[in-house]
Amino acid sequence: MALAMDAAALNAFLAAEFPQVVPSHRVEEATEAGVQVRLTADPGQLRPGGTVSGPAMFGLADVAVYAALLSRIGPVALAVTTNASIDFMRKPAAGRDLIAEARLLKLGRSLAVADVLIRSEGEEAPVARASMTYAIPPKTA
């Protein structure tokens, strides 16, 4: 199974189509096993104490799943999240980037499912886990 897009192609696509998620998010790696995305939170994404907010972690998981999907099917701007479940398990370390690892568990014609683990950089214990479903628009001829 070859990848349709590598990390550089994914970052270029995100910058063109979703400029607001760049530069805080960066795809660091895309392989057959999945993708790794880094979040360098901006001030609006922090909570008192300097930890990353829940919505920002949700956004990171979403970008990671989207990147994992695109790495396999190529640039499809119109894929949309239909469902997400997320567990917040530990407080992120203050002042540290978050690293999300997403792996695609199902790639169907119309639905894709992936799961994600998010860690503070340099920590083993995950701060959050998420699973998400994306709806893939039908190909038009």
Binding site for its own copies (CB under 8 A): 17-18, 20, 44, 46-48, 53-56, 58-59, 62, 80-90, 105-106, 110-111, 113, 115, 117, 125-126, 129, 131, 133, 135
Q: How far is the CB of 14 from its own copies (least distance, A)?
A: 12
Q: How far is the CB of 71 from its own copies (least distance, A)?
A: 18
Q: By C-beta, is 109 or 122 nearer to its own copies? A: 109
- C-alpha 61/C-alpha 118 separation (Å) is 8
Neighbours of 76 (CB within 10 A): 15
Q: How far is the CB of 115 from its own copies (least distance, A)?
A: 6
Q: In Å, how far from its chain's centre is CA 137?
A: 19
| Exposure b/e, 15-51, CB count within 10 A at least 16 = b | eeeeeebeebbbbebbeeebbbbbbebeeebbeeeeb
Q: How far is the CB of 30 from its own copies (least distance, A)?
A: 20
Q: By C-beta, is 7 or 61 nearer to its own copies? A: 61
Token pair 């979403």: residue:
62
